[in-house]
């Protein structure tokens, strides 16, 4: 009997056409793994539509060739035999296609979130793999794909995004061997570093200043929290996803065990909560009680229909209690 990894590889090898989708508000891993796999499968003669988000997130736009992304139209699915969901722990996070009838398609679920509920016809959940990008790299030899720089570049972005430039606890010897293979294929790591970290938009720097002003240290110094309202983003004409590093910032203070970043998304009537925590605090477990999920060290969830102050009160109460209990 084949294991999950080989079953997914066989399903990818067999298909002739597929729609590739990553989770909503795609980060570097979601974007990079989707683009890397799309290029790899196209190189094997398969018809592939990369969709779910459009346009590409500004930060990752440099990776894309014109026409590589298609609009997530509802009738798109009818033209393909499979749907490949990447880095997406929950079918409801497939933004454009959540709630769609997917029964006519072979759904292939490739993800590394331990809270993934194994939706789909074939699923491989690489719980201990740094990133979905690293999982895609493991699949490529089985698909007969040779690494080209065009495939390797987005996968490099996936790896460095989810490992914090190879600094988080999820970085393994296998991650670095994968990274070495990507470099050997011709990735210009300094060019990518400049694209991702040295092209800050001034309005986003001002938003970061606002985030620093809002930083609060609570629960006897163990909880760092930043809460931003929709009007903070509006004031600087910043995108709601402009400051993903706010949660690391809140977490980076000496003595802080858990970092929390709350942001109000007015148009969706949502408060999104992102969390980072050190051992023994399992942030995925914590998030699951609020309907979210993620990884032990980084996870999140959202509230619907309550205000920012209310959401903040609930998060502070629950986390403070948890921190007092020591777990």
Which positions from 12 through 71 interact with Mn ion, judged by CB under 5 A?
29
- C-alpha 325/C-alpha 133 separation (Å) is 36
Smallest distance from Mn ion to CB 15, Å: 23
87 interacts with Mn ion by CB under 5 A: yes
Measured CA to CA, the distance from residue 135 to residue 9 in angstroms comes to 11
Strand ranges inside 2-159, DSSP E: 17-22, 47-51, 82-86, 106-111, 122-125
The nearer residue to Mn ion, 159 or 308, going by C-beta atoms, is 159
Instruction: CB nearer to Mn ion: give 87 or 204.
Output: 87
Residue 160: CB minimum distance to Mn ion, A: 12
Asked if 124 contacts 7 with a C-beta cutoff of 8 angstroms, the reply is yes
Size of the residue set binding Mn ion (CB under 5 A) = 4
Distance of alpha carbon 121 from alpha carbon 111, whole angstroms: 14
Residue 33: CB minimum distance to Mn ion, A: 7
Segment near Mn ion (CB under 5 A); pick from 15-23, 100-108, 155-163, 232-240: 155-163
Q: Which two tokens stand for residue 171?
A: 């970085």
CA–CA gap between residue 227 and residue 246 (Å, rounded): 9
Which residues have a Cβ under 8 Å from the Cβ of 116 and sit 6 or more positions away?
88, 89, 90, 109, 123, 125, 293
| C-beta of 299 vs 311, nearer to Mn ion | 299
CB 3 to Mn ion: min, Å: 21
Which of 74, 84, 99 is closest to 135 using CA atoms?
A: 84
Residues 182-241 that bind Mn ion (CB under 5 A): none
CA 44 – CA 38 distance, rounded (Å):
10
In angstroms, give the least distance from the CB of 284 to Mn ion: 13
Does 162 bind Mn ion (CB under 5 A)? Our answer is yes
Q: Which range of residues in 65-73, 128-136, 275-283, 310-318 is near Mn ion by CB under 5 A? A: 128-136
| Distance (Å, whole) CA 93 – CA 66 | 26
The site map against Mn ion for 93-122 (x = CB under 5 A) is: ------------------------------
Q: Can you read off the two tokens belonging to residue 205?
A: 């720097």
Give me the least distance between CB of 177 and Mn ion, in Å please. 19
The residue number whose beta carbon is nearest to Mn ion equals 29
**Which residues of the chain form contacts with Mn ion (CB under 5 A)?**
29, 87, 132, 162
């Amino acid at each position: 009997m084949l294991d999950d990894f080989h079953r997914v590889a066989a399903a990818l090898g067999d298909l002739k056409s597929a729609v590739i989708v990553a989770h909503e508000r795609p980060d570097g891993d979601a974007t990079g793994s989707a683009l890397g796999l799309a290029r790899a499968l196209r190189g094997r003669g398969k018809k592939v539509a990369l969709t779910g988000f459009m346009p590409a997130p500004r930060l990752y736009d440099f990776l894309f060739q014109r026409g590589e992304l298609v609009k997530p139209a509802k009738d798109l699915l009818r033209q393909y035999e499979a749907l490949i969901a990447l880095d997406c722990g929950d079918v409801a996070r497939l933004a454009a296609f959540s709630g769609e009838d997917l029964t006519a398609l072979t759904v292939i679920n490739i993800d590394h979130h331990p809270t993934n509920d194994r939706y789909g016809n074939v699923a491989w959940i690489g719980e201990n793999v740094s990133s979905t990008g690293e999982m895609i790299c493991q699949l490529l030899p089985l698909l007969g794909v040779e690494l080209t720089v065009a495939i390797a570049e987005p996968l490099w972005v996936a790896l460095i995004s989810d490992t914090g430039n190879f600094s988080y606890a999820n970085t393994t010897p296998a991650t670095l061997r994968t990274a070495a293979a990507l470099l050997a294929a011709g990735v210009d790591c300094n060019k990518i570093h400049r694209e991702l970290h040295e092209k800050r938009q001034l309005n986003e720097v001002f938003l970061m200043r606002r985030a620093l002003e809002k930083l609060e240290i609570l629960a006897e110094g163990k909880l760092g929290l930043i809460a931003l309202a929709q009007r903070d983003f509006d004031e600087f004409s910043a995108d709601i996803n402009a400051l993903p590093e706010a949660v690391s910032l809140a977490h980076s203070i000496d003595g802080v065990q858990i970092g929390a970043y709350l942001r109000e998304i007015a148009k969706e009537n949502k408060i999104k909560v992102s969390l980072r925590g050190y051992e023994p605090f399992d942030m995925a477990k914590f998030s699951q009680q609020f309907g979210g999920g993620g990884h032990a060290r980084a996870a999140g969830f959202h509230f619907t229909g309550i205000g920012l102050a209310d959401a903040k009160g609930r998060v502070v109460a629950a986390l403070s209690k948890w921190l007092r209990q020591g777990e």
